Amino acid sequence: MSSVKTKRDVLGTSSLRPDGGAKVKGDFAFTSDLHAENMLWGATLRSPHPHARIISIDTTAAWKIAGVECVVTADDVPGQLTYGLISSDQPVFAKDVVRYMGEPIAAVAADHPETCRRALAAITVVYEVLPVLFDPELAIGDDFEPIHPEGNLIRQQRIVHGDTSVVGDVIVEGHYVIGMQDQAFLGTESALALPDADGQGVEVFVATQWLHEDQKQMAACLNLPTERVRLVLGGVGGAFGAREDISLQVHTALLALRTSRPVKMQYGREESFFGHVHRHPATVWMRHHATNEGKIVKIEARFVFDGGAYASTSAAVLINGVTHTQGPYKCPVAVVDGYAVRTNNPPCGAMRGFGVVQACFAHEGQMDKLAAAVGTDPVSIRLMNAMETGDLLITGQPVESVAPVARLIRETNEIPLPPDLAMDANELELPGGSGITAERKHIKRGIGWGVSIKNIMYSEGFDDYSTARCTLSDGKVVLKFATSEVGQGFVTLAPQIARSVLGVTDAVCDTIDTQIGSAGSTSASRQTWMSGGAVDGACRLVRERLFEVVGAQHNIEPIRFAIEDDEIVDTAGTFRMSVIEASQGITISETFEHHHRPTEELDENGQGNCHVAFAFVAHRAVVDVDPELGLVKVVQIATAQDVGQVLNPLSVLGQIEGGIAQGLGLAVMEEIIVQEGRVRNPSFTDYLLPTALDAPVVVARMIEEYEQQAPLGAKGVGEPPCISVTPAIVAAIRDAIGKDIDRCPVRPQDICL
Amino acid sequence: MPVLIAHTISEATEILAENPDATILNGGTDLMVEVNFNHRHPSSVLLLRNVPQLREWSIDSSQQTITIGAGVPYAAMETGAIAAAVPALAQAARTVGSPQIRAAGTMGGNLGTCSPAGDTLPVLSALEATIHLSSQDGERIVPFGEFMVGPKKNSRLQHEIITAVTLPITGRRQGYSKVGVRNAMVISVASACFAVVDDTPRLAMGSVGPTILRAVKAEKFLTEATTNLNIISDEIAREFGQIASTEARPIDDHRSTAQYRAHAIKVLASRLAVRGTAS
Ligand SMILES: Cc1cc2nc3c(=O)[nH]c(=O)nc-3n(C[C@H](O)[C@H](O)[C@H](O)COP(=O)(O)OP(=O)(O)OC[C@H]3O[C@@H](n4cnc5c(N)ncnc54)[C@H](O)[C@@H]3O)c2cc1C
């Protein structure tokens, strides 16, 4: 028996990503790197108009080009003509009408991307341009002809809670505007489809967030049995919500089935901007009523989310928005009206924060207004109203999760402020950066706060379970699941769980595909909880079986066994045996499905226990502003995040730093500019993402209060970092310049003109 | 697509004379982007990277000028002797793109593209640089003001190669500033170069008109309002900026608004007017 224990990457350690080295060295195969023998390339023809009737489509000339193997349009879709996550309202190819700029009309397969390009150019589409519905307010009433058979209103939800006749001593009000953010993942949409030899099925390697949902929608459109559409996760270069919806999946598979050859599709950056949904631009009105001291007594609000041309997840985004109106604060009374509408703008759907980002930008603006109105400071007003476990939400749902809101605020407040900007600060440290636009004397510093609550897992009665299988053999564990690894680190965490539960060292993940039950989506900060719970459950079942085997061999009651480090020990005796030895020559395999507790739908007054659990975070931003030029440099973000239990500190920190960068982008630069339905900046030249010079120093504290509901005590940590950092930065800008700003991203002209 | 490789300037002009359709490739940081986006389909390419002469620079101390080869990358201008001779050019070079872009990108390419947002161009305008063009017919030297004739338009003839740029070494105050909505790697929303040349102030403005604009009224105002260009009051600087902003001809687009651009010029000009003075 070994006496020196090797360090094992169990839960709680900063185990490194199994694919980290390959990614750093450029060896990792992203989906776009895949290649198959005899492969064709696919490409998509898209509408140049935001709204037009299709009079005719002529593909004859495209078919005649040498090297073109196939051209498909709506007429070639063998199954259901539409798809969608919640409502199946989006055509695989537009047939009679196009409803947004960039909507797919046809696809081609050819021997080379350049041949594809020429084939697309050879397709003649005659359009009759229609009036464009670009103002979401016009979509609410009957003022504009329905642009879709399902109407212009995607969903409306009211929340009425408590004695609404209450009036506060102090009332503050604000109108807030949130711009359209893009997920801007670095690996653009890509898929490789391989047709089965009999032509009755297809295997598709794809970068996605939810293999089984894609499979279901694809099978319906392709008119194939689900099991004949086999999906394998290709290497994913980021997701952030943009891979929840179908993009090129059906097109690629259809072309492969039609040509009986492998087909690969891959969007370029510009096409990617048209190929996936974005964060909903929104307008939010809020009116807070409070006592003279500043305690909230009522909130009134109105939300309008612009869903763009198709429903995607707009209905769920809306519910997230309205149910998070109060933020992480106590609120006894509320009247909220929310609308998710259809327009001829780009379709919007899931993005990190999912509706809560918009609500948070508004409620945090309100908290600062309230603090000013009652003559207190941003920290005191938030502490005074901080939510606690057991409080009722405005939906009537009790908060059963750990809710350390006051502690998060206090701990964030304890983080030292950065030093003052030195009189001889390097020009690169000043707002304006390498443009050398300012000197030290032009700069003003501001501090701002943002605190948020975010639901985790899916809501409104949806059972988003996850499945995993654990196989132990000869001291080695293989884990099988369909959990999309999009960069969040489940492939790091799953083996950590197995090592902790089973005492093994050697634990690896099998191919991620549809050859096992669904894992649900890698979204809603849910995979550590859901798939973590599934892996944990499967490993525990295997452990039980192993104890039975060893118990039978050594005549010990299995119940007496426990895993201690890498050994099975008899807790009531002296027997010890290494797991490696105990599992020699045997194979134990168990599958487990983890379900979270059920949730309910909301009633017409928005009442109901619709969410599973909540996570909280506080952010304090320090920014330097050049008030005259309107330029900003975010200096430091201090944050304390409610994480439940830290399972991998490095992974958590990665989520915190990345989320903050993304929230910073929404605060000061990231916006898809849409004018009358047309996207004006579909490139990384003009859609600006933060660079290293824009990224602030992040000082993070992970607040560990074990979450009893969670299988591993851990809350999801993916979304919270990006939610309240945006209002914190905008508040810091307001603080620096002493001027009200009600929109994000904040543009230079919003500051100085 | 044939790639024609030149090793000397005369070889390059010869190739260009024989292949009038050839597209010149320097660092490729503009051209390759356009090719990738399918905006340009060159039938053949003339590669200049192997012409050592284009990557050289020299100082003429009797004339007090510096001549910089069209193939000198930005990275070489950021520090060292070029930066000491023309500090505003070093500042402009530092604002271009990212380290990768500055390692490859050149002033020849900036002039070839001639975008109103090109970062070296306001410096060339303010310092009244001259552009050297070579062809089989010989060499032509064109003042910058006559070289850039419109947005992405210059007076280079199809068979000419931009070989170098000559700038004065003034030994006086000069500076470049660029406003973008990100702290690095961003296309300018408004930019300005201020320089004192022959004891007169010069101000050139980028991204606020179809070409680089000289703020002649503002320059005249400052000349008349001051006796010593090293002592400029805040009030005069403000007025200088104010006048300059009226000379800008900005537009609204997806990057910014005309109003903000004019405002930014006002601020940049007044700050540059006093930057580096004792005040
Ligand atoms: C990510 C990125 C960031 C950028 N950021 C900036 C920025 O901040 N500021 C800025 O000003 N620019 C920027 N650019 C644009 C580009 O880097 C510059 O314009 C650069 O100066 C181009 O030089 P080049 O040598 O790469 O030109 P190339 O791409 O090789 O050529 C550009 C054009 O000039 C012509 N040309 C080149 N050399 C000659 C010659 N000797 N004679 C005649 N014609 C010639 C070419 O035919 C072509 O039309 C950026 C580009 C990228 C990709």
Distance of alpha carbon A64 from alpha carbon A47, whole angstroms: 22
Distance of alpha carbon B70 from alpha carbon B154, whole angstroms: 15
CATH number where B248 lies: 3.30.390.50
Mean predicted confidence (pLDDT) in B259-263: 98
Tokens of A523: 């979204």
Share of chain A above pLDDT 90, in %: 99
Query: What digits encode the pLDDT tens for the residues A300-321?
Result: 999 999 999 999 999 999 999 9
Q: Are residues B193 and B246 in the same domain?
A: yes
Chain B residues whose beta carbon lies within 8 Å of the beta carbon of residue A681: 254-255
Tokens of A9: 């990457």
Query: What digits encode the pLDDT tens for the residues B50-93?
Result: 999 999 999 999 999 999 999 999 999 999 999 999 999 999 99
Mean predicted confidence (pLDDT) in A191-199: 97
Query: What digits encode the pLDDT tens for the residues A515-562?
Result: 999 999 999 999 999 999 999 999 999 999 999 999 999 999 999 999
Report residues whose beta carbon is within 6 angstroms of any ligand 1 atom. Answer: B 23-31, 33, 48, 70, 95-97, 101, 104-106, 108-110, 112-113, 118-119, 156, 161-162, 185
Q: Does B180 touch chain A (CB under 8 A)?
A: yes
Tokens of B202: 């010069």
Residue B279 located in a structural domain: no
Q: Are A180 and A242 in contact (CB under 8 A)?
A: no
Candidates A227, A232, A168; CA nearest to A200 is A227
Q: Among the three residues B151, B168, B185, which one is the final residue of a domain in this structure?
A: B168
Number of structural domains found in chain B: 2
Candidates A420, A396, A230; CA nearest to A326 is A396
ω into residue A136 within 30 of 0, thus cis? Answer: no
> What is the span of the domain harbouring residue B7?
3-168
pLDDT of A2 = 46
| A20-27+464-594 maps to CATH 3.30.365.10 | yes
Query: What digits encode the pLDDT tens for the residues A575-615?
Result: 999 999 999 999 999 999 999 999 999 999 999 999 999 99
Mutation probe of ligand 1 site: the residue of B1, B29, B33, B147 with most atoms within 8 A of C-beta? B29
Q: Which residue of chain B comes nearest to A629, CA vs CA? A: B264
Nearest to A437 among B177, B187, B253 (CB): B177
Establish how many alpha carbons lie within 13 A of residue A319's alpha carbon, considering only the half-sphere containing its beta carbon: 23
Ligand 1 atom closest to Cα of B30?
29
Q: Å from B177 to nearest chain A CA?
A: 5
pLDDT of B276 = 84
Q: Are residues B239 and B212 in the same domain?
A: yes
Q: Are residues B50 and B84 in the same domain?
A: yes
Q: What is the DSSP letter of B55?
A: G
**Maximum separation of any 2 CA atoms in chain B, in Å:** 60
Q: Among the three residues B107, B140, B168, which one is the final residue of a domain in this structure?
A: B168
Query: What digits encode the pLDDT tens for the residues B218-240?
Result: 999 999 999 999 999 999 999 99
Classify residue B63 as exposed, middle or buried by CB count within 10 Å of its CB (0-12, 13-18, 19+): exposed
pLDDT of B278 = 64
Candidates A256, A257, A266, A277; CA nearest to A234 is A266
Q: What is the mean pLDDT of chain A?
A: 97
Q: Domain A34-130+185-239+243-275 in CATH: superfamily?
A: Aldehyde oxidase/xanthine dehydrogenase, a/b hammerhead (3.90.1170.50)
Tokens of A362: 């508004």
A126-147 core/surface letters (b: 16 or more CB in 10 A; e: else) = ebeebebbbebeebbeeebeeb
Considering only CA atoms, which residue is closest to atom 35 of ligand 1? B112
Residue B114 alpha carbon to ligand 1 centre in Å? 9
Sign of dihedral through CA atoms A738, A741, A745, A750?
negative
Query: Which residues sit opposite A306 in a β-bridge?
Result: A341
Classify residue B18 as exposed, middle or buried by CB count within 10 Å of its CB (0-12, 13-18, 19+): exposed
Residue A345 pLDDT more than 60? yes
Whether residues B267 and A435 touch (CB distance < 8 A) is answered with no
Nearest to A435 among B37, B177, B259 (CB): B177
Q: Are residues B126 and B193 in the same domain?
A: no
Share of chain B above pLDDT 70, in %: 99
Q: Does B229 touch chain A (CB under 8 A)?
A: no
φ/ψ of A668, rounded to 5, equals -130, -5
pLDDT of B161 = 98
Residue B56 alpha carbon to ligand 1 centre in Å? 18
Which amino acid would we find at residue B216? V
Q: Are residues B75 and B206 in the same domain?
A: no
pLDDT of A651 = 98
Residue A3 pLDDT more than 80? no
Q: Are residues B98 and B145 in the same domain?
A: yes
Residue B277 pLDDT more than 90? no
Q: Are residues B78 and B135 in the same domain?
A: yes
Residue B110 alpha carbon to ligand 1 centre in Å? 5
DSSP code string of A132-170? ----HHHHHSSSS--SSTT-SEEEEEEEEES-TT---SE
Mutation probe of ligand 1 site: the residue of B110, B157, B177, B179 with most atoms within 8 A of C-beta? B110
Residue A667 alpha carbon to ligand 1 centre in Å? 31
Residue A115 pLDDT more than 90? yes
Q: What is the DSSP letter of A415?
A: S
Residue B119 alpha carbon to ligand 1 centre in Å? 10
Query: What digits encode the pLDDT tens for the residues A151-180?
Result: 999 999 999 999 999 999 999 999 999 999
pLDDT of A204 = 98
Considering only CA atoms, which residue is closest to atom 4 of ligand 1? B97
Strand pairing report for A97-98 and A561-564: unpaired
Q: Among the three residues B123, B139, B168, which one is the final residue of a domain in this structure?
A: B168
Which residues 36-55 of B are in CB contact (within 8 Å) with A? 37-38
Q: Are A299 and A289 in contact (CB under 8 A)?
A: yes
Q: Does B245 touch chain A (CB under 8 A)?
A: no
Distance of alpha carbon B51 from alpha carbon B12, whole angstroms: 8
Range with the lowest mean pLDDT among A1-5, A694-698, B139-143? Answer: A1-5
Residue A375 pLDDT more than 80? yes
Of 3.40.50.300, 3.40.720.10, 3.30.365.10, 3.40.50.720, the CATH number of A282-459+601-752 is 3.30.365.10
Residue A4 pLDDT more than 70? no
Residue A197 alpha carbon to ligand 1 centre in Å? 50
Q: Which residue of chain A comes nearest to B272, CA vs CA? A: A437
**Maximum separation of any 2 CA atoms in chain A, in Å:** 84
Chain A residues whose beta carbon lies within 8 Å of the beta carbon of residue B267: 437, 628-629
Which amino acid would we find at residue A665? G
Ligand 1 atom closest to Cα of B120?
11
Residue B123 pLDDT more than 80? yes
Distance of alpha carbon B279 from alpha carbon B264, whole angstroms: 22
Chain A residues whose beta carbon lies within 8 Å of the beta carbon of residue B253: 680
Question: Which candidate in A629, A693, A746 is best for mutational testing of the B interface (most B CBs within 10 A)?
Answer: A629
Chain B residues whose beta carbon lies within 8 Å of the beta carbon of residue A673: 254
**Band of the pLDDT at A623, cuts 50, 70, 90?**
very high
Q: Are residues B91 and B142 in the same domain?
A: yes
Chain B residues whose beta carbon lies within 8 Å of the beta carbon of residue A686: 187, 254-255
SS (H, E, C) A659-681: HHHHHHHHHHCCCCCEECCEECC
Candidates A226, A188, A183; CA nearest to A207 is A188
CB pairs under 8 A between A and B: 99
Share of chain B above pLDDT 90, in %: 97
Distance of alpha carbon A244 from alpha carbon A347, whole angstroms: 13
Mutation probe of ligand 1 site: the residue of B26, B106, B158, B176 with most atoms within 8 A of C-beta? B26
Mean predicted confidence (pLDDT) in B151-164: 97
Nearest to B95 among A435, A438, A753 (CB): A435
Residue B56 located in a structural domain: yes
Query: What digits encode the pLDDT tens for the residues A427-466?
Result: 899 999 999 999 999 999 999 999 999 999 999 999 999 9
pLDDT of A678 = 98
User: How many other C-beta atoms can be found within 10 angstroms of the C-beta atom of residue A196?
Assistant: 16
Domain range annotation of chain A: 20-27+464-594, 34-130+185-239+243-275, 282-459+601-752
pLDDT of B142 = 98
CATH number where B94 lies: 3.30.465.10
Query: What digits encode the pLDDT tens for the residues A38-89?
Result: 999 999 999 999 999 999 999 999 999 999 999 999 999 999 999 999 999 9
φ/ψ of B97, rounded to 5, equals 40, -135
Classify residue B108 as exposed, middle or buried by CB count within 10 Å of its CB (0-12, 13-18, 19+): buried
Continuous H helices in A450-594: 490-502, 527-554, 579-582
Residue B55 located in a structural domain: yes
Q: Are A654 and A488 in contact (CB under 8 A)?
A: no
Q: Which residue of chain A comes nearest to B258, CA vs CA? A: A749
Sign of dihedral through CA atoms A626, A627, A632, A636?
positive
Residue B141 located in a structural domain: yes
pLDDT of A6 = 65
Q: Å from B135 to nearest chain A CA?
A: 34
Q: Higher-confidence residue: A236 or A5?
A: A236
Whether residues A748 and B260 touch (CB distance < 8 A) is answered with yes
Which residues 11-40 of B are in CB contact (within 8 Å) with A? 37-38
Domains A20-27+464-594 and A282-459+601-752 share a fold: yes
Residue B186 located in a structural domain: yes
Mean predicted confidence (pLDDT) in A708-713: 96
pLDDT of A390 = 97
Q: Are B54 and B70 in contact (CB under 8 A)?
A: yes
Q: Are residues B111 and B238 in the same domain?
A: no
Whether residues A673 and B254 touch (CB distance < 8 A) is answered with yes
Q: Are A592 and A534 in contact (CB under 8 A)?
A: yes
Q: Are residues B254 and B268 in the same domain?
A: yes
Strand pairing report for B213-214 and B200-206: antiparallel
Query: What digits encode the pLDDT tens for the residues A669-688?
Result: 999 999 999 999 999 999 99
Nearest to B91 among A436, A442, A631 (CB): A436
Candidates A363, A358, A344, A445; CA nearest to A405 is A363
Q: Are residues B120 and B199 in the same domain?
A: no
Contacts of A304 (CB under 8 A, 6+ apart): A136, A137, A140, A282, A283, A284, A338, A339, A341
pLDDT of A1 = 43
Question: Which candidate in A117, A180, A437 is best for mutational testing of the B interface (most B CBs within 10 A)?
Answer: A437
Residue B152 located in a structural domain: yes
Q: Are residues B57 and B164 in the same domain?
A: yes
Query: What digits encode the pLDDT tens for the residues B15-48?
Result: 999 999 999 999 999 999 999 888 999 999 999 9
